[in-house]
Amino acid sequence: MSKTEDRNVPYGNHSIIDPRLLEVLVCPLSKTVLEYDREKQELISRAARLAFPIRDGIPIMVLDEARTLEF
- Total structural domains within the chain: 1
The enclosing domain of 46 has a CATH number of: 2.20.25.10
**What pLDDT does 13 receive?**
54
The string of pLDDT tens digits covering residues 2-42 is 444 444 444 455 667 888 998 999 999 999 999 999 999 99
Distances (CA, A) of 69 to 8, 29, 44, 59: 27, 14, 9, 17
Which sign does the torsion angle of CA 33, 55, 28, 22 carry? positive
CA distance 1 to 3: 7
pLDDT at residue 14 in the model: 61
> Contact 51/42 with Cβ under 8 angstroms?
yes
The pTM (predicted TM-score) of the whole model is 0.78
Question: The domain containing residue 24 runs over which residues?
Answer: 5-68
